[in-house]
Amino acid sequence: MKIDSKKIGILGFSAGGIMALQLLMDQDEGDSSAADAAEKLGNRADFIALVYTGLPGNKMPKMSKNTPPVFIVHASDDPKAVPVVAAKIYQQLLEASAPAELHAFRRGDHGFGMTPTSGSVRNWTSLYADWMRDLKLLDK
């Protein structure tokens, strides 16, 4: 399997979504003069998916037109991660002209994972795959 170094992203659920947003806040392009090979590469993700996320330290990351594409999925009945956070993240992305997509499902609770068993939230992974195909991150 060949890995394309320009198609590396992060998918974060709940606290993992918070970590993905933290990465967005702390991203850098690397240091070409660094002695350490890892430091030369930097840590910028090529895409980010946030699934029922919160905010790191309750701080909204700064978004720009250079923010990598972001996919957001959330359930409106989530008692642990306030659904309005997903809408605020999406709004910030739009205002920054950053590529973004938001899917807010009426029901799904918190922790529906990759394979929810009921409701329309069952389809979120298909929507995510379509989004990745639209961005040419996956083959058709």
* Helices and strands (H, E) in the chain, number of each type: 4, 4
The pLDDT score that the predictor gives to residue 43 is 83
- Enumerate residue ranges in the chain where pLDDT < 50: none
The pLDDT score that the predictor gives to residue 89 is 97
The pLDDT score that the predictor gives to residue 140 is 65
| Strands of the 48-51 sheet, one edge to the other | 10-13, 48-51, 70-75, 100-105
Determine the Cα–Cα distance for residues 140 and 17; give it in Å rounded to an integer: 27
Determine the Cα–Cα distance for residues 61 and 32; give it in Å rounded to an integer: 26
**Total-model pTM:** 0.91
The pLDDT score that the predictor gives to residue 37 is 83
Determine the Cα–Cα distance for residues 117 and 114; give it in Å rounded to an integer: 10
